[in-house]
Amino acid sequence: MTAVKHHVTIKGVKDGLVFLLDDTCEFDELIKELQHKLEKTHQKILTGPIIHVYIKLGSRQASEEEKEQIRSIIGQKGNLLIQSIESLADDASSALANMSDVKLLKGMVRSGQTLTEEGNILFLGDINPGGTIISSGSIYIMGSLRGMAHAGVDGDESAVIAASHLRPTQLRIASIISRPPDEWGINEAFMEYAYVKQGKMEIDKIHQLHRLEMKQ
| The CATH fold of domain 91-215 | Pectate Lyase C-like (2.160.20)
**Taking Cα atoms as reference points, which of 163, 148, 131 lies closest to residue 59?**
163
Per-residue confidence (pLDDT) for residue 129, from 0 to 100:
93
Beta pairing, strands 16-21 & 8-13:
antiparallel
Per-residue confidence (pLDDT) for residue 73, from 0 to 100:
87
Beta bridge partners of 134: 116, 150
Per-residue confidence (pLDDT) for residue 41, from 0 to 100:
63
The DSSP 8-state label assigned to residue 6 in this structure reads: P
The DSSP 8-state label assigned to residue 42 in this structure reads: -
Segment 28-32 shows an average pLDDT of 90
Q: Which pLDDT band, with edges at 50, 70 and 90, does 192 fall under?
A: confident
Asked, colleague to colleague, whether 8-86 and 91-215 share their fold, the answer is no
The CA distance from 17 to 80, in Å, is 9
Q: Which pLDDT band, with edges at 50, 70 and 90, does 210 fall under?
A: low
Residue 192 vs residue 5, higher pLDDT: 192
Residue 202 vs residue 215, higher pLDDT: 202
Poorest-pLDDT segment among 4-8, 168-172, 202-206: 4-8
Per-residue pLDDT at 6 exceeds 90? no
**Taking Cα atoms as reference points, which of 118, 89, 123 lies closest to residue 105?**
123
How many other CB atoms sit within 10 Å of the CB of residue 120? Answer: 21
Per-residue confidence (pLDDT) for residue 214, from 0 to 100:
43
Residue 56 vs residue 207, higher pLDDT: 56
Per-residue confidence (pLDDT) for residue 150, from 0 to 100:
97
Per-residue confidence (pLDDT) for residue 86, from 0 to 100:
82
**DSSP string of 98-126, one letter each residue:** T-S-EEEEEEEE-TT-EEEESSEEEEEEE
Per-residue confidence (pLDDT) for residue 112, from 0 to 100:
96
pTM over 0.85: no
Per-residue confidence (pLDDT) for residue 125, from 0 to 100:
92
Q: How far is CA 197 from CA 142, 161, 163, 215, in A?
A: 24, 13, 19, 11
Q: What is the pLDDT of residues 94-143, one digit of tens each?
A: 555 545 578 889 999 999 999 999 999 999 999 999 999 999 999 999 88
Q: What is the pLDDT of residues 39-97, one digit of tens each?
A: 776 666 666 788 888 888 887 878 888 899 999 888 887 788 888 888 766 655 555 55
Domain boundaries, the chain: 8-86, 91-215
Assess if CATH 3.30.160 describes domain 8-86: yes
Q: What is the pLDDT of residues 132-161, one digit of tens each?
A: 999 999 999 988 999 999 999 999 999 999
